[in-house]
Amino acid sequence: MRIPLLARAHLGTVAVLFLLTLVACLLVAGLPRAMQASFDEALRRSLGDAPAVQADLTVTVESHSWQEDLRERAQFDTRDRRWRGLLPPALRPLVASGGHMSAKTTLTPVTGTGGRTFVNLGWLSDADRRVDWVSGRAPGAPLTMRYEGETIPVFEVGVVEEALRDMGLRVGQTTMVGESDYAAVRIVGVFAAKDPDDRYWSHNSDMLHVTRLLPQGEMDFEKHITTLIPEAALSALSGEGRNLSYNWVLPVGAAGASALAAPAIDAAVAEFGRVLAIQSSGQSSGGASAYHLQTGLPKLLGDFLAALATAQTVMYLVLGGLLAVALGVIVLGTRLLAERMDHTLGLARARGGSLWQVAGAGAALAGLAVVPAALAGYALSALVPGPVLPIVPAGPVIVVVVAVGFATARPAVTHRAPLRERRADVAAARPSARRVTLEVLVVVLALAGAYLLRARGLSASAGQDPFLLLVPIALTLAAALVTLRCYPYPLRLLVRLTARGRAAVPFLGLTRAARARSGSVLPVLILLPALGVSVFAAVIADGIAGTQQVASWQRVGAPIKMTSDIEIPAAAVERVRRTAGVELVVPAQTARVQIGYGTERADAIAVDVAQWRRLMEGAPVGLPASSDGALVSPELRGRGTIEIGWQSRVKLPSRGVIESVPGFYATGKFLVVPMSTLTRPAVNTLLIKGNAAPADLARLVPSATVESRSRALAAITDDPLTSTVRSTLLVVTVALAGYALVAVVLTLAAGAADRARAVSFLRTLGLSDRQARRLTVLEVLPVIVVTALVGLGLGLGLPAVLGPGVDLSSYAGDLPVGDYSTDLVTPSALAAGLAAVAVLGAYAHTAISRRRALGAVLRVGDLS
């Protein structure tokens, strides 16, 4: 059989099948690559944005005797090389070159301060590249002095300006440290970090800033600062009489991170820690301190993998639905091609052609369309950045196998006997009891699965929960079966009603729709998963977008917020009020206040609540009204009148309980009080409504930090995982909508010949063109409308069914996504669009049929 000649004769259908296959293979091969690339980028950004002290691997050991002391740089370098050699293979791509080493003392009290002031000693291996000396000089080698009859070391140190200001220190001062093993600390210089924003300093923030700690049950803070000593001081620094630790920081580089390798990194970190624990310090193993690993990398990876699991679940659902619908539409195209070849293949079979020749001809013609299209789609997917996952080449292969397999099986079944007679007037066959039982079982299992999913949630085992992936498939299949079996019954009722009328067109159109064969109805049910998944994707995307808006308001609490560690002068507040774009300014003061007369404390904000509510008018979050009392957190509820110590002792009645204060507090003990409570307000926060530029406001109050809700929203939406989920949902929604429309068109084309013959017969009986259009619409539209409504309901119901199993809070500012009913415009538009296309297709089909001569149509019909 001449395949090129057949392809030329059915060029239009072959071209449609080629395009459908090309788009399907591009999507199923390109989307997983793009998704995985974004997953890798999300992991890299997560590691890059995390503080270095959390992401890096820090090997640390404590020295308790002179045998364990490290007194020169070479000893540190030797151990650094050893740690890098012990890294498990899974960690080596992550650990970058560089890093640094340090030696630090902790809890080194200043003599005579009663444990309220601590001046620690610290050495950094790369201090010369990290700091500038802004006053005095760099410290030199240690000296000695006599103190209480003993010779003690004198360490020359440098400190930051903040320590001089907050701890009453000065350059040139010599301070005694220790309570039993004394040492002298002489401040000879003041240093500043060359780049204080460098992630490096998260490991050594104790050197740049004074640390204030409030001991349990105490009212006064402890102050800690770590001073900088030179390398020469290592020879005099010993753990014999003080808390001394040595640290090696192995930096984790985000560039080598891969989401596929992330699950193995946790085990590798545990293995590295186990190997380090069996290493020993000192000259002998007896009594020596063990090395141990400090890192927050497992928690970072755990949080990332939790968010990734949700993203993968959503992606599997929508991509699986996309693949199923694409295969269904391709099968429709293949079926259309096979129907167009039926006459030719039947003639070849009647002339002695074997069944294998007939089936091979169908397979060859379909392969001629789908194989080049699959190769082209796979080649185009290579333009999408990302790793090649197993599904990338497997997707196009599945598409080709399904298309060619159906193209082989359909002619083999249809032409298994030469010139086999087929009745065209049989409307439908009664389903067997076995088939009905199987369909009822599928429906029952789907409903039971949905109930169990809501009742039990996700399984605790790692990885994807198969239950979560199977329930949507079962629900879709159940909805399709119910629709297929039940839709004729309301149509038959309409047929009885229209039979009583005088108009023939409604009766004929609805009768043909009600008596349609299951084979002609089944292709339309491709619309069900297409609509269900696309509506599900649209609803999920809308739910994420709405929750992101709420999260941005919860983070900032106002369109613009300015906070300062010190009081904002009244003149600066007035300058802010007069700034262009500022509509309203609400001053506030925040502090940590005393509850009662004990040690209980709570966070508090004093503000004009009425003005704040006015400022947030129209926002999805807000505060309850309060004018003369306090709004308290759940942990402070039930106390009636609450007494606080803030500038003065004040008693306030509780006027309500609030779960959180937008922009300020979400957990713990907190309260909101009127600004009039304070005897002399010291404003340190400004809540601003308007569109003023944050940079302009920051220049007006240099001590303030400016946050804007728009920036907070951008930070949430620009996250790679969030962007991937939303963009993939959008692409899948558009693709499924397109496939649904193509399915409608192919369904119309598949029944075109039979429909044209029926209309032609009726036109000989006086049917007008207008009545023919109405007849065609009434024949096609009911099943489209029923399927669209069922698909719409399925898509709207899936988020509620899967809600307990799909945690989307990672993509919505850590707020749970639960409101999926806010915007029904997109889902309704998808369903209505299908009905509209069906109507337009029916009209187009009728218009094309008018061009045919009635005699030719009837003659062809008679011959068949």
Q: Per the structure block, which two tokens stand in for 142?
A: 């240690």
Confidence at 523, pLDDT banded by 50, 70, 90: low
Measured CA to CA, the distance from residue 535 to residue 660 in angstroms comes to: 33
Confidence at 131, pLDDT banded by 50, 70, 90: very high
**Looking at residue 804, what is its pLDDT?**
59
Please report, for residues 308, 563, 695, the alpha-carbon distance to residue 702 in angstroms, rounded to integers and kept in the order given: 40, 11, 10
CB atoms inside a 10 Å sphere around CB 764: 11
Of residues 385 and 468, which shows the higher confidence score?
385
Q: What is the pLDDT of residues 29-87, one digit of tens each?
A: 988 888 888 888 888 888 888 889 999 999 999 998 888 889 999 999 999 999 999 99
Of residues 207 and 528, which shows the higher confidence score?
207
Q: Which of 649, 682, 702 is where one domain is finished? A: 702
Within-domain flag for 681? yes
Q: Which of 294, 326, 342 is where one domain is finished? A: 294
- 3-state class (DSSP) for residue 24: helix
High-pLDDT (> 70) share of the chain, %: 88
Q: What is the pLDDT of residues 278-295, one digit of tens each?
A: 876 554 444 567 899 999
Of residues 117 and 38, which shows the higher confidence score?
117
Residue 216 pLDDT > 80, yes or no? Answer: no
Q: Bridge partners of 62?
A: 245
Confidence at 460, pLDDT banded by 50, 70, 90: very low
**Looking at residue 326, what is its pLDDT?**
87
Within-domain flag for 278? yes
Within-domain flag for 542? no
Confidence at 848, pLDDT banded by 50, 70, 90: low
Nearest to 389 by CA among 797, 49, 29, 738: 29
**Looking at residue 798, what is its pLDDT?**
80
Within-domain flag for 167? yes
The mean per-residue pLDDT over the stretch 116-121 comes to: 92
Residue 379 pLDDT > 90, yes or no? Answer: yes
Burial of 156 (0-12, 13-18, 19+ CB in 10 A): buried
Helices (H), 634-705: 694-700
The mean per-residue pLDDT over the stretch 438-464 comes to: 72
Query: Mean pLDDT over all residues of the chain?
Result: 83
The mean per-residue pLDDT over the stretch 101-117 comes to: 90
Residue 395 pLDDT > 50, yes or no? Answer: yes
Residue 443 pLDDT > 60, yes or no? Answer: yes
Q: Over 236-294, what HEC string results?
A: HCCCCCCEEEEEEEECECHHHCCCCCHHHHHHHHHHHHHHHHCCECCCCCCCCCECEEE
**Looking at residue 287, what is its pLDDT?**
54
Residue 781 pLDDT > 80, yes or no? Answer: no
**Looking at residue 807, what is its pLDDT?**
67
- 3-state class (DSSP) for residue 31: helix
The model's pTM: 0.74
Within-domain flag for 392? no
The mean per-residue pLDDT over the stretch 261-268 comes to: 88
Q: What is the pLDDT of residues 536-555, one digit of tens each?
A: 877 887 888 888 888 899 99
Within-domain flag for 650? yes
**Among 201-215, 417-431, 636-650, 819-833, the least confident range:** 417-431
Q: What is the pLDDT of residues 710-766, one digit of tens each?
A: 999 988 887 777 777 778 878 887 888 788 778 777 777 777 667 677 777 777 767
Q: What are phi and psi of 520, to 5 degrees?
A: -80, -25
Within-domain flag for 71? yes
What's the total number of domains in the chain?
2
Residue 264 pLDDT > 70, yes or no? Answer: yes
Measured CA to CA, the distance from residue 506 to residue 508 in angstroms comes to: 6
Could you list the residue range(s) of the whole structural domain that residue 223 is in?
57-294
Within-domain flag for 472? no
Q: Which of 294, 312, 347 is where one domain is finished? A: 294
| CB-CB contact of 136 with 188 (8 Å) | yes
CB atoms inside a 10 Å sphere around CB 647: 16
Measured CA to CA, the distance from residue 295 to residue 95 in angstroms comes to: 13
**Looking at residue 190, what is its pLDDT?**
95
